[in-house]
Structure 1
Amino acid sequence: MSFNPVTHVLFDMDGLILNTEDLYTIAFQNITSRYGKEYTYDLKVKLMGSQSHETAETIITHLQLPLTPEEFMKETKSQFQSLFPNTQVLPGARRLIEHLHKKNIPIGLATSSSKESYDLKTGKHHQELFAMFPYKTLGTSDPEVKRGKPYPDIFLVAASKFPDKPSPSKCLVFEDAVNGVRAARAAGMQVVMVPDSRLDRKLTEEATLVLNSLEEFRPELFGLPPFDD
């Protein structure tokens, strides 16, 4: 396999660095089950990477819930406050982030989470890890990000925050979601995908490289410094 060398790296957060996609599923199912509805994996795949209001509108419409988007988001907020402080870092994420940070590779965070949600997920256990990201784009709270994934907005905004303004072709994105991969490709970036094991592999074909875990990633494939060990 041959890949183009990159100089800058952008990371999604939910389902890639932290196990929050599992927690989103619990939260949404807790709400939809009260109305006799199931939050299915197929619906989840369509939503991953969406901004909060987009997610609320889609779930309400798809499952025909008797709620407004505002009411749904209020209920999810309560669920998140209970679930998100207990997030776990996924395999390989810490090692890769610490390695790139140590080697002075510019890295940025590009998550659809709101500022409030981000603080809940990272504040209790992971502040030191996320302090390694000098540039953060929190899509739901960032007025520059007009549209959620699969549109390219979040990655273009995130790349623009690097002081040297790299070309999209010099940015490598790490993602777990189909919508995130599509957003990165639409932005003109290469993307490494670490999908959920349940995902139909046909839906991963737009990714530049597909891995089972970040533990499998070899930085030198994209012209980045190799791991020291």
Structure 2
Amino acid sequence: MCPLKPVTHVIFDMDGLLLDTECLYTRAAEIVASEYGKTFTWEMQVACMGLKARADAKYNIDTLDLPLTVDQYLDKVSRVYKTVFPSAQFMPGAEKLVRHLHKHNIPIAIASGGAQDSFELKTTNHKEFVSLFSHVVLASTDPEVENGKPAPDVFLICAKRFPDSPNPDQCLVFEDAPNGVEAGVKAGMQVVMVPDPRLAQEKTKGSSQVLKSLEDFKPELFGLPTYDD
């Protein structure tokens, strides 16, 4: 791994990183697949992490050979999302880190592969938390994001939208998924990965640091203010 360098801005993925939603996405995909006697697997979930919604849908349709169009698939999973997403809870250490950075006036933002409607559902009970971020870029519904992760678009656009438009190397990305790590690296940013413990070690390559939890993050290693306690 390369030596860690100081940063001035921080960009967070959301699903599986700030909020514990990957299990909810998995549940929705499992329900749709089961309608057709098919099984949605963990390997499929890893492949889908960070993709734009339509790319995610097409991957599942093609992999499971489902008799659905992309729009039909999205309609089915969106019905499940409405019932499960509002229950999303914080991942360990997420709220503490975000509030710490905000308290110390470190510019922070969210860059997610998700869509606006699902984002609203997932943050139903976390509106005040979301207000701490400078801005949110959602790849699936943002017209400026042409390509989803693993392309770097969402991170580059997110960086550009900070008031002072920092250079990519001034930004630190937090990700849980291989697609997101690849996108951050392509954007020219350092990436801290907090993977699902089931993820194969070789899929963590490219990141500047790999942590078991956001609780293990030491801000001072990247030139950020240390925790007060």
- The alignment's TM-score, normalised by the length of structure 1, stands at 0.98
Give the 5 Å matches for 1:145-184.
Answer: 145-184=145-184
| Alignment correspondent of 1:69 | 70
Q: Distance in 2 between matches of 1:55 and 1:202?
A: 22
- Given that 1:2 and 1:221 are in contact with CA atoms closer than 8 Å, whether structure 2 keeps it comes out as no
Once the two structures are TM-superposed, the CA of residue 127 in structure 1 deviates from its matched residue by 0.7
Is 2:21 aligned against 1:25?
Answer: no
| Alignment correspondent of 1:102 | 103
SS where residue 26 of structure 2 aligns? Answer: helix
| Alignment correspondent of 2:204 | 204
Q: How many residues align?
A: 228
Q: Distance in 2 between matches of 1:7 and 1:64?
A: 46
Once the two structures are TM-superposed, the CA of residue 2 in structure 1 deviates from its matched residue by 3.2
Aligned-residue CA RMSD (Å): 0.8
**Deviations 1:36-73, CA, capped at 9 Å, x for gaps:** 11111111111100011000111000110000000000
| Alignment correspondent of 2:129 | 129
Q: Which runs of 4+ in 1 moved over 3 A?
A: none
| Alignment correspondent of 1:56 | 57
Q: Distance in 2 between matches of 1:63 and 1:2?
A: 42
| Alignment correspondent of 1:118 | 119
Is 2:5 aligned against 1:4?
Answer: yes
User: What amino acid does structure 1 have at the position aligned with 2:39?
Assistant: E
Q: Distance in 2 between matches of 1:88 and 1:37?
A: 29
Once the two structures are TM-superposed, the CA of residue 139 in structure 1 deviates from its matched residue by 1.0
- The alignment's TM-score, normalised by the length of structure 2, stands at 0.98
**Structure 2: gaps of 5 or more residues:** none
SS where residue 32 of structure 2 aligns? Answer: helix
- Given that 2:11 and 2:173 are in contact with CA atoms closer than 8 Å, whether structure 1 keeps it comes out as yes
Over the matched positions of the two proteins, sequence identity in percent amounts to 50
- Given that 2:134 and 2:162 are in contact with CA atoms closer than 8 Å, whether structure 1 keeps it comes out as no
SS where residue 10 of structure 2 aligns? Answer: strand
Q: Distance in 1 between matches of 2:178 and 2:190?
A: 14
Q: Distance in 2 between matches of 1:158 and 1:96?
A: 19
Q: Distance in 2 between matches of 1:93 and 1:50?
A: 22
Q: Distance in 1 between matches of 2:132 and 2:139?
A: 19
- Given that 2:152 and 2:187 are in contact with CA atoms closer than 8 Å, whether structure 1 keeps it comes out as yes
**Deviations 1:94-148, CA, capped at 9 Å, x for gaps:** 000000000000001101111111100002x111111101211011110110111
| Alignment correspondent of 1:43 | 44
Q: Distance in 2 between matches of 1:157 and 1:168?
A: 10
Q: Distance in 2 between matches of 1:121 and 1:69?
A: 22
Q: Distance in 2 between matches of 1:197 and 1:38?
A: 22
Q: Distance in 2 between matches of 1:46 and 1:99?
A: 32
User: What amino acid does structure 2 have at the position aligned with 1:107?
Assistant: I
- Given that 1:192 and 1:207 are in contact with CA atoms closer than 8 Å, whether structure 2 keeps it comes out as yes
Once the two structures are TM-superposed, the CA of residue 163 in structure 1 deviates from its matched residue by 1.1
Once the two structures are TM-superposed, the CA of residue 208 in structure 1 deviates from its matched residue by 0.6
Q: Distance in 2 between matches of 1:5 and 1:85?
A: 36
